[in-house]
Amino acid sequence: TLQELKVPFARTETGTFFQEQPRIGNQYLEDAFLQRYLKTHLPSQVLEKVSLDLERFGARVTAEIDSLGRECELNPPALLHYDAWGRRVDHIVTCPAWKRMKEIAAEEGLIAEAYERKYSIWSRVQQVSKLYLYAPSAGLFTCPLAMTDGAAKVIESLGISGPLAKAFGHLTSRDPKKFWTSGQWMTERKGGSDVASGTESVAREQPDGTYCLYGFKWFTSATDSDMTLTLARIMDAQGRVEQGSKGLSLFFLEVRDKEGKLNGIEVQRLKQKLGTRQVPTAELLLDGSKAHRISAEGRGVASIANMLTITRIHNVISAVAGMRRVINLAREYASKRVVFGKLIKDHPLHMQTMARLEVETRGAFLMLMEIARLLGLEETKMASEQDLHLLRLLTPVAKLYTGKQAIAVISEGLECFGGQGYMEDTGLPVALRDAQVLTIWEGTTNILSLDVLRSLAKSQGQVLAAFCSGVQGKLELASSISELESSVQLLQDALHRLGQFTQRVGSKGAVAMELAARDFAYTLARIYTGALLLEHAAQPDASSTDTYAAQRWCKQDLCPIDSEEKAGCYDDKAVSMDTYLVYEG
């Protein structure tokens, strides 16, 4: 019979070949570039402790956190409006894995570490390294953590006192029973970018000095959080409010009261999202939510800016970590999958494809670490004026640039698995769905490009000067190394053209600069990243791959603003022609 002959395709037999799946190992031990970065920068005593912790945590990510993250993806949150007896409860039901993620975040001190400052100026680099290992396995618990970190930062900057002292204690706790997460409710139906005109929520002062908030928050992520920061306009006794940015104040509120009842909040519905499905994102009606005003009246936007900075940095962490993870999985797969008679890794064109992804990821990683380093300096009061200017400038630059890189790299990364990269049950496609949001929330690419201009406009040239001298400083070592000389030259040339552009554009007016905003931000990203790669390649411990990566980065168009200007993209007539082109017909 067929069975006796062991014919492979019979009855339930589906053949004899099954592809071995790609697996992740300890992501710290598998990341030579991260290890080299830490070795180069951290003082030896700090390095010893940090690398031991990262190795331990890397093992926990693989053994425990990764499968919890997958469970969060497979069991998305649901909204229960009514209990069995018809009472309106608006309960957001999350899965056990999501709750466990919260406990792990506290146990690991994923927020606490940044505020304990055990490693002084290096505390942020340490925290960011840990979050970088964690993010792609975290089932998007990184989202509430980002906002929690942002809220803690706002509170620290405003002063840890009054009701905020209790909140700060919870946000930075290592005790899972005490640990709180925070939301960030800024977006309303009329505007998520244009918060100044979009915010309709109002605040009525109460006799005890607290406020009751009324309004509709259109996007609120991680709505199962314990507290939030939000914006509203104070309404006077005659029912008048001040419009625009100057009318907005910042409020803190606890989401539930001591009995666990919602604080004047109705959860209208949960959003149906392309990705980030692990996280509940809700539309909320605020109907008399009891809140504390925590900024001066009318200083809402300026006071929440610290939260924006921190959450944007977390966005960069997720972008870079997502790129690293897909590459690590793809290179594992390439050493297991045989096609056309050899492993995929032995096909030069496939290696070229992956090498390009690797260069992007290394560059983005160094940008992330540079920002973490600058933030660490700022938070320990060790930052120079130049460091502070760079932190302000590079945060939106890195957020907008790495968000785009992540989508491109992860998309190409999925292709490295062929058809399997498109199959939901491999757990791979979620990376792309989740990456797509990185360029939208926390400010779209255009809004962040305009924020780059805002940071320059406020400083009378000092921010740009800090950028140029920051780049020059990083090139010093590299310029004395012959293999890096021509790359340094390319970078110097791009920096020179950027300088010429900024002089020319002054005479062209505001519209030209607005049209140039995105290319300008890209130019800053490419030049600064190039300088970081060259600085890294010039270190005594650098490997030949560091030199190669820096050389490759510098061969791309480092100054897109120059080429686009030559193409007439910022001319007056471009405004009408762009519109005509888009709307013709």
Where is 349: in which H helix or E strand? helix 348-379
List residues binding ligand UCC (CB under 6 A): 142-143, 146-147, 184, 186-187, 192-193, 195-196, 221, 245, 301-302, 305, 308-309, 311, 314-315, 318, 441-443, 447, 451, 454, 458
Residues 6+ apart with CB under 8 A from 308: 150, 442, 443
Q: Which is nearer to ligand FAD, 475 or 513 (CB)?
A: 513
Interface residue with ligand FAD, options 141, 441, 520, 570 (CB under 6 A)? 441
Task: Give the x-and-dash track for 169-188 against ligand FAD (CB under 6 A).
Answer: ---------------xxxx-
Q: Which is nearer to ligand UCC, 56 or 454 (CB)?
A: 454
Q: Which is nearer to ligand FAD, 125 or 195 (CB)?
A: 195
Give least dist CB 447 to ligand UCC, A: 5
Task: Give the x-and-dash track for 282-311 against ligand FAD (CB under 6 A).
Answer: ------------------------------
- Give, as one character, the DSSP assignment of residue 426: G
Q: How far apart are CA 312 and CA 60, in angstroms?
A: 26
Give least dist CB 442 to ligand UCC, A: 5
Residues 6+ apart with CB under 8 A from 496: none
- Whose tokens are 């290179």? That residue is 331
List b or e across 502-538, with b for residues whose CB sees 16 or more CB atoms inside 10 angstroms: beebeebeeebbbbbbbbbbbbbbbbbbbbbbbbbbb
Give least dist CB 425 to ligand FAD, A: 23
The one of ligand UCC, ligand FAD, none whose footprint includes residue 318, by CB under 5 to 8 A per kind, is: ligand UCC
Length of the chain counted residue by residue: 585
Interface residue with ligand FAD, options 163, 191, 264, 427 (CB under 6 A)? 191
Q: Which is nearer to ligand UCC, 23 or 269 (CB)?
A: 269
Q: How far apart are CA 415 and CA 352, in angstroms?
A: 14
Nearest to 397 by CA among 474, 492, 464: 464
Backbone region of residue 15 per phi and psi (left: phi > 0; alpha: psi in -120 to 50; beta: other values): left
Cβ–Cβ < 8 Å for 97, 75: yes
User: What six digits make up the tokens of 478?
Assistant: 């590299």
Give least dist CB 187 to ligand FAD, A: 3
Is 518 a binding residue for ligand FAD by CB under 6 A? The answer is no
Is 439 a binding residue for ligand FAD by CB under 6 A? The answer is no
Give least dist CB 163 to ligand UCC, A: 22
Q: How far apart are CA 287 and CA 335, in angstroms?
A: 57
Interface residue with ligand FAD, options 305, 355, 447, 575 (CB under 6 A)? 447
- Residues making contact with ligand FAD (CB under 6 A): 184-187, 191-194, 219-221, 273, 276, 281, 437, 440-441, 443-444, 446-447, 450
